[in-house]
């Protein structure tokens, strides 16, 4: 029995040692792989090819067999002619500038309160700048109700990089570009919006609860120590003073002034005092106030440009693990629910 006991103890120790070694190897290998893994990458899709695919699918569904065969023959003939022309152009090493279509790059920005997507926008802008030429167009499909000033200021600065590179910047608002969203939108050389898109809200909002009286009632003391008279203006736990409130309001007014200056500089035809009241307007009213330039959906804008432009969607996609995917899916569901509830409470139904 003693032999069996000693052998069992030895076996347990051996298994423990081997398991420890395996765990260390797995951890080190995983860490090495993580270092080698890319954070993500740029994905480019030909929008015009998508339009062609839609047309082909619809045609095959509704056309007769003879019409389908005739079209296939015509397409093959056109493809041969295109290849022949391309080969001729390559051999001649010359190409008429009129034969080259201008390019249109399309990126999407779906903003939350922190403007989190600005971290992806910066990569997309850099990718476009690495290949675009002056005169090319960038369309930003923008949707955002606004959020923190520094986040949307950073996102707007990314769009400004495109303008400084002499690229035409078009902003398309299908649903909402308000507050920080409009801070980005106003930089566009052209702004288009759908008829009932929510636009504007050039204002600043800040609010917070104060629990000082509740804490005092329950004999809870809160000490707040600062160096600098206005290091902290309003606080949630301490007692707020009138002087602190005035300073906080002064800071809000300064942010509002900067916002107004930015919009006025980007869109000089605006009556800035008329629109910088914090109000938001639907597309048609926004057009009357010069907040936008045209009533049109982004889908229609791209579809109508399919013959004139080579159009490409550009997207930076983060590399996401399975656990993160599940978390993102759950978060997206909650986000959609909260936004739907908020919209139902804030806007009249039609």
Query: What's the distance, CA 174 to chain centroid?
Result: 14
CA-CA distances (angstroms) from residue 172 to 34, 116, 139, 235? 38, 19, 7, 39
170 bridge partner residues: 139, 190
Residue 231 a catalytic site member: yes
CA-wise closest residue to 202 among 173, 187, 172, 181: 181
Distance between CA atoms of residues 304 and 81, nearest Å: 25
- Cα–Cα distances in Å, from 43 out to 49, 55, 305? 15, 24, 21
Q: Exactly one of 38, 66, 164, 231 is catalytic; name it.
A: 231
| Calpha distance 139→162 (Å, rounded) | 11
Which among 144, 179, 194, 313 is annotated as catalytic?
179
Distance CA 219, CA 311 (A): 66
Q: Is the distance from CB of 101 to CB of 293 less than 8 angstroms?
A: no
Q: Is 179 a catalytic residue?
A: yes
- Kindly write down the DSSP assignment for every residue of 20-75, as one continuous string: HHHHHHHHHHHHHHHHHS-SEEEEEEEHHHHHHHHHHHHHHHHS-HHHHHHHHHHH
d(CA 114, CA 335) in angstroms, rounded, equals 13
Rounded-to-integer distance, Cα 169 and Cα 144, Å: 18
Question: What residues are annotated to the active site?
Answer: 179, 231
């Amino acid at each position: 029995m003693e032999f069996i006991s000693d052998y069992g103890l030895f076996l347990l120790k051996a298994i423990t040692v081997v398991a420890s070694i395996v765990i260390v190897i797995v951890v080190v290998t995983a860490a090495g792989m993580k270092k080698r893994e890319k954070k993500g990458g740029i994905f480019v899709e030909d929008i015009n090819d998508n339009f062609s695919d839609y047309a082909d699918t619809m045609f095959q569904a509704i056309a007769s067999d003879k019409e389908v065969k005739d079209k296939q023959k015509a397409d093959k003939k056109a493809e041969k002619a295109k290849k022949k022309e391309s080969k001729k152009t390559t051999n001649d090493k010359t190409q008429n500038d009129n034969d080259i279509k201008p390019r249109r790059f399309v990126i999407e920005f779906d903003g939350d309160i922190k403007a989190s997507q600005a971290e992806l926008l910066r990569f997309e802008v850099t990718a476009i700048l690495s290949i675009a030429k002056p005169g090319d167009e960038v369309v930003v499909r923008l949707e955002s109700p606004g959020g923190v000033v520094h986040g949307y200021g950073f996102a707007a600065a990314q769009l400004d990089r495109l303008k400084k590179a002499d690229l035409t910047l078009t902003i398309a608002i299908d649903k909402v570009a308000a507050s920080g969203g409009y801070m980005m939108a106003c930089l566009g050389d052209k702004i288009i919006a759908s008829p009932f898109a929510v636009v504007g809200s050039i204002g600043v909002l800040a609010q917070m609860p104060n629990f000082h009286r509740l804490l005092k009632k329950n004999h809870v003391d809160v000490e707040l120590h600062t160096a600098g008279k206005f290091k902290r203006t309003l606080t949630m736990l301490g007692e707020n003073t009138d002087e602190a409130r005035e300073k906080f309001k002064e800071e809000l007014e300064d942010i509002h002034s900067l916002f107004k200056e930015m919009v006025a500089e980007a869109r000089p035809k605006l009556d800035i005092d008329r629109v910088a009241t914090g109000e938001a307007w639907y597309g048609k009213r926004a057009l009357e106030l010069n907040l936008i330039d045209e009533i049109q959906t982004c889908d229609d804008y791209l579809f109508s440009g399919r013959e004139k432009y080579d159009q490409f969607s550009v997207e930076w996609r983060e590399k996401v693990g399975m656990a993160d995917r599940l978390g993102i899916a759950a978060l997206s569901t909650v986000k959609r629910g909260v936004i739907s509830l908020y919209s139902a409470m804030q806007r009249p139904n039609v």
